[in-house]
Amino acid sequence: MAEIIRMPRLSDTMEEGNIVGWLKKVGDKVSPGDILAEVETDKATMELESFHEGYLLYISVKEGPVPVNDILAVIGGKDEDYKAILAGDSKAAEPINKPKETAAALANTPENQIAVEEKVTAASESESRLKTSPLAKSIASKSGIDLHAVTGTGDGGRIVKRDVENFVAAKSSQPSNANAANASPQYGDVPLSQMRKTIAKRLVESKFSAPHFYLTMKINMDKTADARKLINEQPETRISINDFVIKACAAALRYHPAVNSSWLGDKIRINKDINIGVAVAVEEGLLVPVLFAADRMGLRDINSHVATLADKARSKKLQPQEMQGNTFTVSNLGMFGIDEFTGIINPPDAAILAVGAIVEELSMVDGKVTSSKIMKVTLSCDHRVIDGATGAKFLQTLKQYLENPVAMLV
């Protein structure tokens, strides 16, 4: 019997998927495990796998958006009549990608024809009310001049030849930048990807539903920088500053469970697991893959997992389960030379840490001027879950770990 293939929900926030292309065509034999198509979700481009044996009998949409649970295709016997099964499904009425009505077609509707006729009539009546000599009207027509812009100096405000000639001369003497200012603006519109739509929706919801407040702290990174240098002297080891930050966050969250919590509307969930989302910039926007049980990882494990997840994010190979379950998020723009910034909380988290660049700063220590490596971090908190003192204590613990990294490595 023919089987209907529907658009699956490939992530917890997915409302529709965008068909990038089909890897099978109508008439092709299909086996379980075969990849039918590539689907762009709100988080990544994923492969649509077949779980059925048969032939691809029908494709509803070759390219474009399809709502979750709408029909994508039908798989069945080679000569099986699939139309009956489609006719009985309310979501199979017609392809989603039906061509849009062209502007020309819309213009030919009775309503628009009437509107155009009214505009032409109004314009004609307006021109007929202008007092204009025939010669002035002829010159204006040849020069492309709108007579409504010309001031008449003849009897009763009548527009005469010299008025049009003076207007043309004045217009031609205007600077070129004035002409540019009157020209149509130049721009290019970029269609929204599924990812960008979801980023916009989720961050707007977060910003305007969660009351954010921000705490910024300076951290002396001298000892962390020294520890990193020593560790990286080991063969095939490339630990980053961000690995230390993630490790320190995971350790600090053990002592401050309120920061590792989630707002659920009628209750606050204190998460036992410490799963840290790591913001990764990709071409289409931002993805946040998750390090599960980050508090039980060493620096090497953190480094390896982050590198793997970042590569998968950039190649659009992240799986839904790798982007769900975060309890805290770290976003680092220090590598771009950003001193400090504020992040928008990534639901369902109650906080996100924004990490800036390490900069050399002069300070007075024991009466002597010394140079130190200073990093600014800003904690964005959901005030429904975290109070100011709670967030401040978390940052104090984080600071202690990063200023004495040995403490978090034992």
What is the C-alpha to C-alpha distance for residues 97 and 273, in angstroms, rounded to an integer?
44
Q: What CA–CA distance (Å, rounded) separates 177 from 60?
A: 52
| Block residue for tokens 């800003």 | 378
CB 231 within 8 A of CB 299: yes
Element (H, E) at 398: helix 388-403
Reduce the secondary structure of 148-183 to three states and give it as a string: HHCCCCCHHHCECHHHHHHHHHHHHCCCHHHHHHHC
Does an H or E element contain 104, and which? Answer: helix 103-107
383 is catalytic: yes
Check the CA dihedral 279-282-285-289 and report its sign: negative
Cβ-proximal residues to 245 (8 Å cutoff; 6+ apart), any chain: 330, 332, 353, 355, 377, 402
Q: Can you tell me the distance from the alpha carbon of 335 to that of 89, in angstroms, rounded to the nearest whole number?
A: 53
What distances in angstroms separate CA 399 from CA 114, 302, 407, one per listed residue? 72, 19, 11
- What's the CA gap between 108 and 95, in Å, rounded? 25
Nearest to 397 by CA among 214, 202, 254: 254
Alpha carbon of 5 to those of 23, 30, 51, 76, 291: distances in Å? 15, 12, 9, 11, 33
DSSP 283: T
Contact 220, 374 (CB under 8 A): yes
Contact 216, 395 (CB under 8 A): no
Out of 148, 212, 256, 383, pick the active-site residue.
383
The residues annotated with a catalytic role in the active site are 383
